[in-house]
Amino acid sequence: MIKLRPSMERGFADHGWLKSKHSFSFAGYHDPEHMGYSVLRVINDDAVEPGMGFGMHGHSNMEIITYVLSGELEHKDSLGNGSIIRPGDVQRMSAGTGIRHSEFNPSADRMVHLLQIWILPERQGVEPSYEQKAFSVEERSGKLRLVASRDGREESVTVQTDVSLYASILDANEPITWSLQAGRCAYLHVAKGSLEINGQLLRAGDAAKIVNEDAIVLSQAKAAEILLFDLPV
């Protein structure tokens, strides 16, 4: 079964300096039918004005992944890390017992567009940690590139839960077939462009919940950038 989550049905918050679309219930947006999916709890589609951002604030017991689509995001945290996150980078924070961080758009004239993703960890109270890796356009073009996993295989970042996250850039490529294993489900988020999943059209911001399907076929892609989450049922 493939159940579509149209972009226009997401929650929306306009804070002036921040415009955020929520795939799942978050802050002032509450929807009992969209509290998360499997261990996936948050996908926020954020656009941050130049010179603005999130001041130092805390998280605990959550796996947090930041994926920048355009522009740059400056990160600082209580572990002493400081970095610039650019398109193609995957940043992972395991908040564990507690971590504080800030995120700012360092540009004077360019927006930053990013996805912030929260995933429920398998265990609470782990030691906080941080990781960031870059995945080139070539690595992600025309294929599903593993960018996050529980065991860090294929040089992906490591998350403290049973999730495999794939990123891909697709444009007039040959169809890609991806099989679901027993006891697994999936969530496909279209960040840019458009494509078809088993013949159903998805555009930027749309998503699909996938369960009890032997396989999915991604085809008819037009300047598409996607994230595919392999999740426990």
Query: How many angstroms separate the CA atoms of 62 and 75, rounded?
Result: 17
Mean pLDDT rounded to a whole number for the chain: 97
Q: What's the confidence (pLDDT) of residue 114?
A: 98
CATH of the domain at 94: 2.60.120.10
The range of the structural domain enclosing residue 179 comes to 2-232
Tally of domains in the chain: 1
186-200 pLDDT per residue, tens: 999 999 999 999 999
- pTM value? 0.97
At 119, list the tokens: 């995933």
> Count of CB atoms within 10 A of residue 57's CB?
10
- pLDDT per residue as tens digits for the range 70-114: 999 999 999 999 999 999 999 999 999 999 999 999 999 999 999
Contact 94, 125 (CB under 8 A): no
Tens digits of residue pLDDT in 125-148: 999 999 999 999 999 999 999 999
